[in-house]
Structure 1
């Protein structure tokens, strides 16, 4: 009987995980990232990655995460108390099966595409109504379509932009579908006269715009960046 209870408990936990994977997906988070983070929060392992910032920086995902953390803590207490009750008085199988079936029903309903679309619209509307722009993660502010890109482009000695200004290096840049947000030079961010500022080795350009336009305009520097990143990976940096 104890094994039966553990099996039902496992079914409930698995169903809860998948329910929250669906809910996180409705907020725009990828499935593989959602599942890993949900399991991490439920188990209370404290395993942190850069992906956790996608949850911490999103107000709706934070609320879902709070429930998951509490559920993970209380569910452990429930299983311990239930086993103790079984050992002393016997376990009420009917109630446990009812909870398991109810949880599975919620999961099945959430897997319906129209239900997921409903939650996606609801979460998006709630974000619009109740959340200030400053509270949103960068991804939700800038990357609203698949064509958008936010790129930090480093300037190397071999770069086309090295020792040049953007005004000189890129003709008619004001007509192109991109903007330079700022120049990062060491600990200093340059926001004034960006296009008239001479670029030096070690500078970083924060670019926002259409990905294909950025790749086309900064093709030479983009290739250098990718080659350097590949070399760093090969070198184990």
Structure 2
């Protein structure tokens, strides 16, 4: 029965994809951008590709070191399991036709997995699902939230990456009305490197954009955690009312 080892191999490959995706999401929550997080997760899982400059961003952060160590351990187990599954399966196949069928099944199965994992719809669903799960377990210190400069009376300049399900995602600055909460957006980084300095109200905030904010640190942190929906709208209204009352 060549089907069982083929399914076993494909399940291990699928789990490896998921582990890398989870590791990438965790690294994003520590402040790394999406591309760097993905590269470092793949590098740690496979044990190759670490560059000296980018590895320093990992080794200097306790949370990132823990994540990378877990990815390395998972990678060793996953790669050994995949290789052993392949070897044992081929050893137990005596007929040449069986080996050809087995190899074709592997290739077709891997091709289907790659197509599925590259699907934008599936990719967005997986990223959103992982982000919601991780948000419940990751401490605020490991979030993709970084305080650039602490000022007086609770004010600070902060930055964070807007996750796809964040309250700010897919809104223009004018639509978000973050100024009502006492927040000033100083800049927006797109994932492709495009930067908007002192952006106007017409500029849209997309998922995975990194934004730089000035305002009360508690409000900035709330924005980093706030999710889309009625609850997020209500929080905005409450904070806007509090900010307006404090100015009177």
Question: What TM-score do you get using the length of structure 2 for normalisation?
Answer: 0.39
Give 1 or 2 for the bigger CA radius of gyration. Answer: 1
